[in-house]
């Protein structure tokens, strides 16, 4: 028997509960149907490359299930992870609209279901759907504001420990875990990838985690990380 996702290529994207930062969640039925007609759904394994920094834009990708890391590389081979994309996020949007190369590399960090929309089809869709144009403009503005906040948060942090604490707080606040007495996080990234997120070395991340566990601020059970002392973690992040 066919699943719901087989019958509707963007059904899984609509499970995001119409979050305002997900631009295709609240489209009018006619526009939603038009968007479905130009969408191609594909399942990707962990480690798959969706697009590469500098590659000419073919179109945009809507992440329906799984997580994708967006990264950039320096000329000497160093990697910085700019963002971890969650279900509902649209990848390659600005490059698709402007016709410029992709600014980042997108790689799955776990099995993903992704919808692809070709550039010409998407531009035609925007011309015919004014409401979608406004949602795209709002999304690009929101991304700019968030980028400024992230640069301010991580760039002005005094230490790698403060950056890591802020990252853990951000992750736990996104899924509501931090409201619990002892929030828990499923760690799908390696220490190397976390280091690339906060601009430090793998050895430094490993050392900080070991110190947090020793101080009983964090507790690790397999790939699950529990926050045992929220107050201490917030103090480490410089949060009030």
pTM, rounded to two decimals: 0.71
- Percent of the chain with pLDDT strictly greater than 70: 85
| Alpha-carbon gap, residue 42 to 6, rounded angstroms | 10
Phi, psi (deg, nearest 5) at residue 186: -90, 115
Mean pLDDT of 93-99: 93
| 49 φ/ψ angles, rounded to the nearest 5 degrees | -95, 125
What pLDDT is attached to residue 206?
95
pLDDT score, position 10: 46
Domain boundaries, the chain: 4-155, 160-236
CATH of region 4-155, choose from 3.10.450.50, 2.30.40.10, 2.40.50.140, 2.60.120.10: 2.60.120.10
- Considering only residues 210 and 75, tell me which one the structure prediction assigns the higher pLDDT: 210
pLDDT, position 134: 84
Q: Which of 16-25, 30-39, 61-70 has the lowest mean pLDDT?
A: 16-25
For the CA atoms of 42, 47, 51, 52, the dihedral, rounded to the nearest 10 degrees, stands at -170
Segment 183-200 shows an average pLDDT of 87
Predicted confidence band of residue 153 (pLDDT cuts 50, 70, 90): low
- The CATH architecture assigned to 160-236 reads Orthogonal Bundle (1.10)
């Amino acid at each position: 028997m066919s699943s719901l996702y087989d019958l509707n290529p963007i059904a899984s994207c609509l499970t995001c509960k119409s979050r305002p930062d997900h631009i295709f969640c609240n489209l009018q039925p006619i526009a939603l149907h038009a968007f479905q007609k130009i969408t191609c759904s594909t399942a990707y394994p962990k480690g798959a490359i969706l697009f590469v920094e500098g590659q000419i834009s073919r179109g945009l990708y809507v992440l329906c299930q799984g997580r994708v890391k967006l990264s950039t590389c320096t000329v000497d081979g160093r990697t910085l992870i700019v963002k971890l994309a969650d279900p509902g996020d649209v990848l390659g949007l600005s490059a698709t609209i402007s016709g410029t190369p992709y600014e980042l590399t997108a790689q799955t960090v776990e099995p993903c279901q992704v919808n692809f929309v070709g550039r010409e089809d998407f531009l035609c869709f925007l011309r015919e759907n004014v409401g979608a144009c406004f949602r795209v403009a709002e999304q690009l503005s929101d991304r700019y504001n968030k980028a400024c906040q992230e640069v301010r948060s991580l760039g002005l942090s005094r230490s790698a420990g403060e950056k890591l604490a802020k990252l853990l707080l951000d992750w736990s606040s996104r899924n509501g875990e931090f409201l619990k007495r002892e929030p828990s996080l499923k760690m799908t990234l390696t220490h190397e990838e976390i280091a690339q997120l906060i601009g430090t070395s793998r050895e430094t991340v490993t050392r900080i985690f070991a110190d947090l566990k020793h101080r009983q601020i964090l507790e690790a059970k397999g790939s699950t990380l529990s926050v045992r002392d929220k107050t201490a973690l917030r103090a480490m992040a410089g949060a009030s």
